[in-house]
Structure 1
Amino acid sequence: MSTACTLSFELPGGTVTEVAVTTLLNGGYAGRSQDDVAAHVQELAELGVPAPSVTPSLYPVAPYLAQQTTTVPVQHARTSGEAEWALVVTDDDVLLTVACDHTDRALEVHGVAWSKNASPDVLGRKAWRLSEVADRIDSIELTAWADGVEIQRGTLAELLTPAYWLDRLRELDLHKPGTVLLSGTIPMHHGVEQFASKWRVELRDPATGDVIDCGYEVTPLPAPIG
């Protein structure tokens, strides 16, 4: 039985590309400044989140968790999203889109990889060809809102580059159609409330004003019986 799901992306000019996702990967601790990453690892350790054995990290996620959805069911109140970009390898191209990695924070203290597989990676329905924005990648803006309140804002200059991750995919023999990789996230604003019921994330290209976004509502599952 296949675990692949098919995503559909509208490209500039109105063409549509479909991709059957066969490999889904989440980058972690992927800030371009690894000194900042080390400080973040220490902060998380104080909250009980186990430190990674190496940074940046790469977490395999079940391919069916790559979704273009407006609803994310959760089992409890301690889950939250993360603003990210995503690479999508197609038959003849590499696309860049927006993503929100929804994560189970209660499960995260037992294993980051486990928490990544507890909720979907929500991707945008539009994408840019990476080749068409590669020369200005660092200027592209990444912003997230939780319940309408800005919770993250930065540029892609804060994260490891798409070129870095494409090289890693080649090393792992995963640079092939159907691979989707999420970038890892930027810092949250200090003191914000991340356990929200609505999430929205956008990529904005200031050179053109073009925006790609994704958004969803978090809905609680019914209580278990038994």
Structure 2
Amino acid sequence: MSLQFTLPDGSERTVTVRYALNAGYAGRDTLQVQHHVDELAELGVPAPSRIPTLYPLSASLVGRPEMVQVPHARTSGEAEWALVVGEDDLLLTVACDHTDRALEVHGVAWSKQSAPDLLGDVAWPLGEIEHELDQFTLKAWVRHGDTETLIQDGTLAQLLPPSYWIKELGDRLVPGTVLLSGTIPMIAGVDQFADGWRVELADPRNVVSRIVYNVEQLAPAWD
């Protein structure tokens, strides 16, 4: 899969995706991360053996579909950043990790493999914005019918920075690798099982990278 990104200066960059990695439990606040692990455990989601953790995925899951087709009503997205490794540099864009929540209780890695990782339209050269990443805002909205509701609202200061993963992964970040960051908390009381998602990453100058997609539930299997 080759994806084209628009840079803030108006130029365009095309990257062919070869490998995909999803980080998990990757918040900077370790107490908050542990609280999240405990909450998920109460729902039957197995705890990771290592925090933060990393899930290698099929590169075919990375894309930019306008429609995500799912097998049932219990799937949802997650607002994230993505590091995209080009031939000569590193790009940062917005991402949404759509996940099967019903399958998650049987294995997080399996749930990650069941739905796509969506990437945004705009990407920033990492070297140009690394000093101000904590000021980037990350937001997500869910749509139910004609009503859109904010479900995630934070900044990149809540997540481990790209520099952490660059140091940890080293030579694994070959050209064509896409790394998703893990997500920020959802707003309590908002229904995540939605008809559509919108996710935005914005820099301090209000340059925005955006993802918008609908969710379609497929007909049941002929069991």
> TM-score higher than 0.5 here?
yes
Q: Pairwise mapping of residues 27-106 of structure 1 onto structure 2 (< 5 A)?
A: 27-106=23-102
1:211 aligns with 2:203: no
SS in 2 for 1:59: strand
Report if aligned partners of 2:159, 2:181 keep a CA contact under 8 Å in 1.
yes
Number of residue pairs the alignment of both structures matches: 219
Q: CA deviation at 1:11?
A: 1.1
Structure 1 residue 163 corresponds to structure 2 residue 167: no
Residue type of the partner of 2:219? P
Distance in 1 (CA, whole Å) between partners of 2:206 and 2:39 is: 36
Q: For residue 172 of structure 2, what is the aligned residue in structure 1?
A: 174
Q: TM-score, normalised by structure 1?
A: 0.95
Measured in 2, the distance between the counterparts of 1:196 and 1:82 equals 12
| Percentage of pairs with the same residue | 58
Query: Is the contact between residue 8 and residue 207 of structure 2 (CA under 8 Å) also seen in structure 1?
Result: no
Q: Report how far residue 223 of structure 1 moved.
A: 2.4
Instruction: Give the drift of 1:225.
Output: 3.1
User: Cα RMSD between the aligned structures?
Assistant: 0.9
Deviation at 1:128, TM superposition (A): 0.7
* One-letter identity of the residue aligned with 2:212: G
2:221 alignment partner, one of 199, 210, 224: 224
Q: Unpaired runs of 5+ in structure 1?
A: none
Q: Using the alignment, how far apart are the partners of 1:152 and 1:217 within structure 2?
A: 17
- Deviation, 1:222, is 2.4
> For 1:37-92, what per-residue CA distance to the aligned partner results, in whole angstroms no more than 9, with x for missing partners?
11110000000000000100000111010011111000000000000000000001
Structure 2: tracts of 5 or more residues without a match: none
